[in-house]
Amino acid sequence: MPWSKQKALDLIRQLGVVSIVRVSSTEDAPRAVEAIVAGGLNVVEITMTVPNALRVLERVAGQMGDKVLIGGGTVLDPESCRAALLSGAEFIVTPSVNPTVIEMARRYGKVVIPGALTPTEIVLAWQSGADMVKIFPCEPVGGPRYLKALRSPFPHIEFVPTGGVDLKTTPEYIKAGAAAVAVGGELVSSAALREGRLDVITESARCYLEAVRLARETGR
C-alpha cells in the first residue's frame, strides 16, 4: 500500500534519520536494507548509483511493503525520477536543485528532498516545491555551524544535512536545527557487508536513532 505524502514526511521527521544505501553490489543493497530496518530505522534511500538500482527498489518494495519507507537517491533528471517512483520509491532525493525533478515528484504526490548548499540554491529549491532541503555537502563547509547559520534566514525550511555526517556530529546537527540527518557509509559499513556482519549495521542504526532521540530530549 503506497505511503501518503504526509505519512512519509511525518516518519522522516519522527525518526530524524535517513539511511543512505550506496553500495557496489546489487545483492548487498537488500541485505543492507534488512539490517537497517532490523535496527528500527525504516527510512531508507537507495541511490541510483547502486548497480541495477531500479530492480533493487522493486525488490525491496515488493518484499518489505509498508515496513519501510523506501526512497530513490542521487536522482539527476525527471526521467530517472519517474522510473524510481514507478519502481516503488516513496520519496526522491537529489544532489542538486533541478526544478524538473521536483515537478515530477510532485506530480506523483511524493516527497522530494533536493540537495542545495548556498542560500540561493536553498531558495530555488523551496520555491520549486521542495518538501525538505538536503544541505550537501554540509560537513566540508562548516557542518553544524553552517547549518545553524542557515536556520536564521530560513526558519520555515526543514533541512536534512548530509555529506560527512557521523554518529558524533549527529546530535550537533539536531541541536543546530536539522529536521533529520542523512547518513551513508558511516552507517552502512562496506566492511561489515563484505564480512557478513549485518549485526554491525543493525546496531549502528539503533545508535543513530538513539543519538537523535537524546539530542531532542536532553540537548546532549
For the chain, the distance separating the N- and C-terminal CA atoms, rounded to the nearest angstrom, is: 37
Rounded to two decimals, what is the model's pTM?
0.96
pLDDT band at residue 189 under the 50/70/90 scheme: very high
- pLDDT over 70 at 191, yes or no: yes
pLDDT per residue over 97-126, tens digit each? Answer: 999 999 999 999 999 999 999 999 999 999
Task: Say whether pLDDT at 1 is over 70.
Answer: no
Three state DSSP letters for 9-61: HHHHHHHCEEEEECCCCCCHHHHHHHHHHHCCCCEEEEECCCCCHHHHHHHHH
Q: Are 18 and 185 in contact (CB under 8 A)?
A: no
Residue 176 is given by DSSP the state T
Q: What residues are annotated to the active site?
A: 45, 134
Mean pLDDT (whole number) for 86-103: 98
Summary mean pLDDT of the chain: 96
Dump strand ranges (E) for 53-177. 69-73, 91-93, 111-113, 115-116, 133-135, 159-161
- C-alpha to C-alpha distance for 200 and 190, rounded to whole angstroms: 11
- Determine contact, residues 50/73, Cβ cutoff 8 Å: no
Extract the C-alpha cell encoding 154: 530560513
DSSP E strands in the chain: the ranges are 17-21, 43-47, 69-73, 91-93, 111-113, 115-116, 133-135, 159-161, 181-183
Return the closest-CA partner of residue 9 out of 64, 69, 58, 68: 69
**Is 8 in a helix, a strand, or coil?**
helix
Res 220: pLDDT: 67
Residue in this structure with the C-alpha cell 541511490, named with its chain if needed:
47
The Cβ-side half-sphere exposure at 140, using a 13 Å CA radius, reads 4
User: Residue 65: pLDDT above 90?
Assistant: no
